[in-house]
Amino acid sequence: MARLTLAAMPLLMLCGTTVAQTLNTWGQVIFGIGGSDGHLGVLMVDGDPSTYAETTIASGPQIALLANFPRNYLGFYVQSSGDFLTDYYVNATLHNANNQLVMATVGQVCGATSNFTLVAFTGLDGQPGISTDTIFIYPTGAKGATSRINEVYPIFPGDTIFYPNNTRASCADQPSTTATVTSTSTPTTFVTSATSTPSTIPTSTVTSPPTSTPTIPNHSEIKLNRWRDGTNSNGASDLPIIDTRQSPAEQAAYPSSGLTDYDATTYFAQAFNAQPVEFEFFFNEQFVYEGVYIQSDPANYITDYSIRGWHFVPGLNASYPYPTSWTLGGVSGATKEWTYVRFANPQGGVGPSDLGTMTFTVTGSVDGQTARIAGIYPIYEGDGVVEI
């Protein structure tokens, strides 16, 4: 007699319930980032329901699905197991009416009473369905302390949709379709010089406002690079898709676009609120970098931060590469607004790094209350890193 694993049982129960329901494969390589060791997100899209990505709800988990090209989706099914997933929301990168790339919440599930759920997508125009190549899943609740996702199955236009009817009709406590991602958890440890952690960002008085074109004082030899936006001769782009944990009010006042807009008068800002300020750059193409220069608020510059890199390498199976991660570098005890990081490579030495994702974690600033960053500027292979 064949023995069934517990992980395989939910899919069999689904098949028995839906009878002729067809579950799609993705039809392209999907890079999955997330899970307990960073690369397990790929296990949610490998077509094997006996594998799973697991994260601890208390860690504020996020799982990214990065596709090679955009497709149209009506939604997807999420198959969980064990103390199954009960609450999550989904963000995706979309083009708005002005053809600008934005991130928006496209669907959400709350109060699930069984392990197989449907999340239907809604676009910026309020109509069903989206076109995207980058999707983020944010688990916020499970029957236990962990979120375990065995498989995610896409729903394409023309598919017959099965409605499990096992979730709450309203998710009033979840983000709206226009909200930015906010953190739903507090890490267990956090090092900062803050004596208080207000939930709002105080207005910073800049005594010497920077000019709109960024320049590093006393370093006229450094030409600060723009992030490539795809308008060059070969169409290549490393303009990052930025994921932050800002509140909607912070995102409206200090949008994440301030990090990459090459304008020293605009700021990204976020309150610490007793936890690090963390944001991520996701790239649809991997480029080679020697490091970055970072400019923060002269009156309230960041003092401590680290950067982690992710790079896709063959593994698990030939069709599904997974990302490996390592610490690129960081800064501790900065005494001025301009800082730099010379990247370490995966082998532990100093040198260019081929990257698909950068994760920035800020743990300190002058006032200990907020992180205010005017810009992050890439140092490409061959540029050379100048100490500042």
H or E segment to which residue 322 belongs = strand 317-331
User: Which comes out higher in pLDDT, residue 134 or 40?
Assistant: 134
Please tell me which of 7-16, 23-32, 56-65, 370-379 the model is most confident about, judged by mean pLDDT.
370-379
* Contacts with 125 (C-beta within 8 Å, 6 or more apart), sequence order: none
Per domain, the residue ranges of the chain are 23-155, 241-380
Furthest-apart CA atoms within the chain: distance in Å? 77
Q: What is the DSSP string of 330-377?
A: EE-S--SSEEEEEPBPTTSSBS-EEEEEEEEEEEEESSSSEEEEEEEE
Neighbours of 173 (CB within 10 A): 11
Please tell me which of 144-148, 156-160, 371-375 the model is most confident about, judged by mean pLDDT.
371-375
User: Residue 318 pLDDT > 50, yes or no?
Assistant: no
Closest CA to 291 of 361, 355, 230, 219: 355
- Whether 329 contacts 263, CB under 8 Å: no
- Whether 107 contacts 89, CB under 8 Å: yes
Closest CA to 168 of 99, 102, 109: 109
User: Residue 220 pLDDT > 70, yes or no?
Assistant: yes
Architecture in CATH of 241-380: Sandwich (2.60)
User: Residue 73 pLDDT > 70, yes or no?
Assistant: yes
Q: What is the DSSP string of 79-143?
A: EE-SS-EEEEEEEEEEE-TTS-EEEEEEEEE-S--SSEEEEE-B-TTS-B-EEEEEEEEEEEEES
d(CA 291, CA 383): 10
Could you report how far apart the first and last alpha carbons of the chain are, in Å?
69
Kindly report the backbone phi and psi dihedral angles of residue 10, in degrees, each rounded to the nearest multiple of 5, phi listed first: -60, -40
Neighbours of 4 (CB within 10 A): 11
User: Residue 362 pLDDT > 60, yes or no?
Assistant: yes
Banded pLDDT at 5 (limits 50, 70, 90): very low
Please tell me which of 53-57, 77-81, 303-307 the model is most confident about, judged by mean pLDDT.
303-307
Closest CA to 24 of 139, 161, 135, 137: 161
d(CA 152, CA 47): 9
Instruction: Check residue 177 and give its pLDDT.
Output: 38
| Equal fold, 23-155 vs 241-380 | yes
Banded pLDDT at 32 (limits 50, 70, 90): low
The mean per-residue pLDDT over the stretch 312-320 comes to 49
Q: What is the CA radius of gyration of the chain?
A: 22
- Whether 33 contacts 63, CB under 8 Å: yes
CATH for 23-155 is 2.60.120.260
User: Residue 374 pLDDT > 90, yes or no?
Assistant: yes
User: Residue 226 pLDDT > 70, yes or no?
Assistant: yes
User: Residue 359 pLDDT > 50, yes or no?
Assistant: yes
- Whether 254 contacts 271, CB under 8 Å: no
Name the residue type at position 289. Answer: Y
Mean pLDDT score across all residues of the chain: 76
User: Which comes out higher in pLDDT, residue 39 or 78?
Assistant: 78
d(CA 183, CA 149): 20
Give 152's strand partners.
78
Report the SS3 class of residue 12.
helix
Percent of the chain with pLDDT over 90: 28
Banded pLDDT at 34 (limits 50, 70, 90): low
Instruction: Check residue 228 and give its pLDDT.
Output: 78
User: Which comes out higher in pLDDT, residue 335 or 326?
Assistant: 335
Please tell me which of 37-51, 124-138, 153-167, 290-304 the model is most confident about, judged by mean pLDDT.
290-304
pLDDT digits (tens, 9 = 90+) for 233-248: 556 677 888 888 888 8
Banded pLDDT at 108 (limits 50, 70, 90): very high
Give 383's strand partners.
none
User: Residue 23 pLDDT > 60, yes or no?
Assistant: yes
| CA-CA-CA-CA torsion sign (134, 138, 143, 144) | positive
* Contacts with 261 (C-beta within 8 Å, 6 or more apart), sequence order: 375
